[in-house]
Structure 1
Amino acid sequence: MSSDSAAPTSDALERDAHLASTDHKVEPSEIAMGVIIGRTSEFFDFFVFGIASVLVFPKVFFPFADPLTATLYAFGIFALAFVARPIGSVLFMEIDRRHGRGVKLTIALFLLGFSTAAISFLPGYDHLGVTAIVLLAAFRIGQGLALGGAWDGLASLLALNAPEGRRGWYAAMPQLGAPLGFMLASALFSFFLANLTPEDFLDWGWRYPFYVAFAVNVVALFARLRLVATDEFVNLLQTRELEPVPVLELLRVHWRHVLIAAFVPLASFALFHLVTIFPISWITLFTQRSAGEFLMVQFAGATMAAGAILASGLMADQIGRRTMLAICAGLIALFAVGSILAPLLFGDSMAGQTVYVVVGFGLLGLSYGQTAGAVSSNFGARYRYTGSALSSDLAWVVGAGFAPLVVLSLSSRYGLACVGLYLLSGAVATLVALGVNKLKARAA
C-alpha cells in the first residue's frame, strides 16, 4: 500500500506535504522540539490573557466596579475558555475526521492567534460600553475553542517513539510549554510595566503582548505541520493509534476511564493557576508590592518549574509515572496544609510571598511534568487520541478554569487559608482517582 493512500483523512495539501517529507526520518528529539514550540505558543496566548485579567481588564473593561469586583468579573471571562475547550475538541475532532489533521491545526491555530491578537485592537468600556465586554468574552471563547482544536496527538507520538526506558523523560518534554509560555508573557508585561507610565500602559502598552501572539502561533503552526506530514505520524494513523473517533462512541465505551483520567491531574491543575494568575491578583489588590517586580519573581519560579519538569521525567523513568503522580499529589497536599496553617506566609511578607511562588512552581513542575497521558493506556489504541484530548479538557475545566475566580472570591472574604483548602481538594482528588484506577487495573 502506498504511503499517500494510507492517509485517507488528509486533504491534497497535507498529502503533498507528506510526500515531500517521506525521505526524512524524524527523531524523537525533533518531535519533542515541535511539541514544545506548539505548547509554548498555546500557553503564551493563555497567560497573556490571564495576566491582563489582573493588570488591565478590571480597569479597561470594568471601570464601573470596585477593583476586587472588577477582577472577579475578569476572572469570570477568563474561565470561559476552559468551558469552551471540550466543545472545541468535539468540533475539531470532526474536522480532523473529515478533512485531516493539517486542516484542523491550521484552522485552530489561526483562530487562537486571531482571537488573541484581536483583543489588542479592542476598545475599552469607555468607548463601546457593554459591547466591549461582550466582544472580550467572545474572543476568550474563541481561544478556548481553538485550544481544544489544537490537540494534535504529537505528545502521544513522542511517547510512542521514545527509546526504551525513557518514556517518562519524553512525556515531560511537551509540558515545558507551560513555563516557557509563562516566562515569555510575564517578561513582556514586566518590561512594559517598568518602562511606561501607568496611563500609557493602560492606553496602549498592554496591547503589545497580544500583538505578538499571532506571529508566535504562525511559527508554531509550521513547526507542527512539518511533523504531521511525516511517515511516523501516518504509520500511527494506519495502526489507529492516533485516529479520532466520535466522542459519543468514546463515552459509550470508556466513560469511566474518561472520568478517572480527568481527575488524575487535578492536584497539578489546581496548583497551576494558584502560583501563576492568582498571586498576581492578590499582590495587586491587597499589597503594596510592584506587579512588575513580582512578575519577575514568578519568571524565576517558572525557570525552576522547567527544571523540575525535566527532573520529573528522570524520576518517572525510575519509579513509574503513576507513582510519581501519587508522590507529587502527596507533596502538594503537604504544601496545602502548610498554606492552611500559615496563611500569613503569603500575606504582607515579601519573603513569604517569594517562598510561596518558588516552592509552588517547583511542585508544579514535578507534578505537571507527568500529567500528560498518565492513564491514556486505559483507552486502548483506537480510543487513545480522542480519550486523551477529552479527559485533558475536562481536567482543565474542573481543576484550573475557575481556580482564580473561586480562590480570590473566598480568600478575600475568609482569608488565605482558602488557597490551601482548594489545593488540598485537588490533591485528594488525584490520590482517589489513582487509587480507583489501580483497583480497576487489578480487577481487569
Structure 2
Amino acid sequence: MHSSSMAMPLHGARGDASLEHADTHEDVTPSEIAVGVIIGRASEYFDFFVFGIACVLVFPQLMFPFLSPLAGTLAAFGVFALAFIARPFGTALFMAVQRLWGRGTKLTLALFLLGSSTVSMALMPGYESAGTAAIAALVLLRIGQGVATGGSWDGLPSLLAMAAPKERRGWYAMVGQLGAPAGFVLAAALFAYLYSHLTSAEFLAWGWRYPFCVAFAINVVALFARLRLVVGQSYAELLEERELQPVGAAQLLREEGGNVFLGAFAALASFALFHVVTIFPLSWISLYSERSMTSVLNVQVLGALLAGCAVMLSGQLADRIGRRNLLGGMAVLIGLFSIAAPWLLDGSVTGGNIFLLVGFVLLGLSYGQASGTVTANFSPQLRYTGAALSSDLAWLFGAAFAPLVALGLSSRFGLVGVSAYLLSGVACTLLALRINRLIEQQQRA
C-alpha cells in the first residue's frame, strides 16, 4: 500500500517527517497506520461483542441453568465485566514486557493470549456436563481476554493524533473508533444468521461456538497487519521522535495520575451509552418481550452502520466546533435521550427500534471523539502509557458494569434505571470537561 491512497503528511516535532520519502518495505504510510488502527480495533471489538451477545443468547442456559433466566443473565454480565477489571492490569503488565523485549514481542503475546482465550471459549463444556468447572473456565478465559486487550495497545491512535495537522485532529481521532461499529456489525450479523438458521437445540449445542472460532481467525489477520507496522524501522523512529514510549504504571500515576482519571471521566457519557445500546437491549427484550431476537439483531446491525457514518461525521464536527464542545454537546443529548429511553424501550416495536437507531447514532457521534480527549494534558514521555490507561479506566468506570447495572436496576425499579445510569455518566463527562477547561485556562495564564 502506497501513500498515494491517503495524502496526509505526518508532522513531527522536528519539522515535517513525511513518510513518503522512500519505497522500501519498512516505510510506513499514513494510510497503513489508519488501516492498522481500524483492523486492530475491529478485531478486539469483535471478540468482546461476541462474548457480550453470548451473555444473553447462550451463557444463561449453558453455564447458569440452575438460575432463573434473569439471574442467569445477571451472572453472565458479571463475568462480562471481569475483562474490563483485568484490562488495566494487562496494560501495566505488557508495558513492562515491551520495555524488556520490545513492541513486536508484546503485541504478539497479547494477541496470542486474546485469540487463544477466545477460541478456547468455543471448546468449553456446559454446566450440565462439567459443573462449576465450566463456570471457572469461563471466568479465567474472560480475564485472559481482558489482560490481552490491555496488552494490545500499540500506540497507533496516539501517533495519528499527534501527527495530525491542528485543523484535522478531529478527523484523525475518529479513525480508530471505526473499529467499534465494524466489530459489532460482524458479530451481530453472524449471530443473527446462526440464530435464524438453526434450531434452538442446534444453536445451544454448537452453533454459538462458531463466532468464537471466527474471532480467532480475525485475530490472526489483525496480528500480521499490525506487526507489519510496529516492527518496521520507520514506525519505531516515529514513535521515538514523539517520545511515545512505555513507562511504568506506578510512575504514571505518581506523576500525572490526575490526568489519567480526568481522561477516563471526560468521555464517560459515551462509554456508559456503549453497552446500553449494544448489549443491554438484547437482555431486556429477551426477558420481557416476545420479539424475535433475530429482528433485534438486524436492527442493531443497521444501527451500527449508522454509527459508523456518525463516527466519521464526528471528525468533521470536531474540527469545526472543537472536540471538547462536541463531547459536551453530545453528553447533553445523551442526557435527553436517557429521559426518553423508558418510554421507547417499554413501548411498541417501533419505539424499541427508535431507541436502538437513535442510540447508535448518538453513540457514533460521541464515541467518535472519545479517544484522547485530554491526552494532550500528558507530558510527551507519559502520553503513550497515559492514553492506554485512561482508555482502560474509561471502559471500567463507564462500560464494564453497564449491562449488569442497567438490567439489575430495570428489573427492580423499571426502565427508569437506565435513565439514572446514563445520567450519571453525563454528569461525570460534563464535570470532567469543565475541570479540563479550567486547567487549560490556568496553564495559559
Give 2:251's aligned residue.
249
Could you tell me how far apart the structure 1 residues matched to 2:352 and 2:421 are?
A: 18
Please give the secondary structure, in 2, of the residue aligned with 1:166: helix
TM-score by length of 1: 0.93
Could you tell me how far apart the structure 2 residues matched to 1:21 and 1:102 are?
A: 22
Give 1:407's aligned residue.
406
Deviation at 1:259, TM superposition (A): 1.2
Per-residue deviation, residues 203-245 of structure 1 (Å, max 9, x unmatched):
0000000011111001001111111133442223333521001
Q: Does 1:329 align with 2:328?
A: no
Change (3 A) 1:258 1:164: closer
Could you tell me how far apart the structure 2 residues matched to 1:404 and 1:176 are?
A: 22
Could you tell me how far apart the structure 2 residues matched to 1:170 and 1:137 are?
A: 36
Could you tell me how far apart the structure 1 residues matched to 2:277 and 2:240 are?
A: 42
Change (3 A) 1:401 1:375: same
Query: AA paired with 2:276?
Result: L
Could you tell me how far apart the structure 2 residues matched to 1:132 and 1:292 are?
A: 27
Could you tell me how far apart the structure 2 residues matched to 1:383 and 1:21 are?
A: 32
Q: Does 1:370 align with 2:369?
A: yes
Give 1:88's aligned residue.
90
Could you tell me how far apart the structure 2 residues matched to 1:29 and 1:321 are?
A: 23
Give 1:76's aligned residue.
78
Could you tell me how far apart the structure 2 residues matched to 1:275 and 1:45 are?
A: 17
Q: Could you tell me which of 30, 48, 57 is aligned with 2:32? A: 30
Deviation at 1:162, TM superposition (A): 2.7
Q: Does 1:298 align with 2:300?
A: yes
Aligned ranges for residues 276-315 of structure 1 at < 5 Å? 276-315=278-317
Could you tell me how far apart the structure 2 residues matched to 1:108 and 1:175 are?
A: 20
Q: Does 1:351 align with 2:347?
A: no
Please give the secondary structure, in 2, of the residue aligned with 1:391: helix
Give 2:15's aligned residue.
none
Aligned ranges for residues 123-138 of structure 1 at < 5 Å? 123-138=125-140
Could you tell me how far apart the structure 2 residues matched to 1:21 and 1:368 are?
A: 36
Q: Could you tell me which of 190, 194, 197 is aligned with 2:196? A: 194
Per-residue deviation, residues 369-419 of structure 1 (Å, max 9, x unmatched):
001111101002100000011111111111000010011001001001111
Change (3 A) 1:22 1:374: farther
Q: Does 1:272 align with 2:274?
A: yes
**Is the 2:410–2:417 Cα contact (8 Å) retained in structure 1?**
yes
Could you tell me how far apart the structure 2 residues matched to 1:190 and 1:23 are?
A: 41
Deviation at 1:122, TM superposition (A): 0.2
TM-score by length of 2: 0.93
Give 1:62's aligned residue.
64
Give 2:49's aligned residue.
47
Deviation at 1:88, TM superposition (A): 0.3
Q: Does 1:222 align with 2:261?
A: no
More divergent stretch after superposition (225-234 vs 309-318): 225-234
Per-residue deviation, residues 243-292 of structure 1 (Å, max 9, x unmatched):
00111111111011111111011000000000000000001000000111
Could you tell me how far apart the structure 2 residues matched to 1:234 and 1:128 are?
A: 47
Give 2:6's aligned residue.
none
**Is the 1:72–1:405 Cα contact (8 Å) retained in structure 2?**
yes
Give 2:173's aligned residue.
171
More divergent stretch after superposition (251-260 vs 239-248): 239-248
Q: Does 1:113 align with 2:115?
A: yes
Could you tell me how far apart the structure 2 residues matched to 1:160 and 1:25 are?
A: 19
Change (3 A) 1:327 1:75: same
Please give the secondary structure, in 1, of the residue aligned with 2:359: helix
More divergent stretch after superposition (150-159 vs 269-278): 150-159
Query: AA paired with 2:199?
Result: T
Deviation at 1:23, TM superposition (A): 5.0
Could you tell me how far apart the structure 2 residues matched to 1:379 and 1:25 are?
A: 28
**Is the 1:40–1:176 Cα contact (8 Å) retained in structure 2?**
yes
- Alignment: residue pair count: 422
Could you tell me how far apart the structure 1 residues matched to 2:347 and 2:69 are?
A: 19
Indicate the RMSD between aligned Cα atoms, in angstroms: 1.3
More divergent stretch after superposition (221-230 vs 432-441): 221-230
Deviation at 1:32, TM superposition (A): 0.7
Query: AA paired with 2:279?
Result: I
Deviation at 1:166, TM superposition (A): 1.6
**Is the 2:103–2:231 Cα contact (8 Å) retained in structure 1?**
no
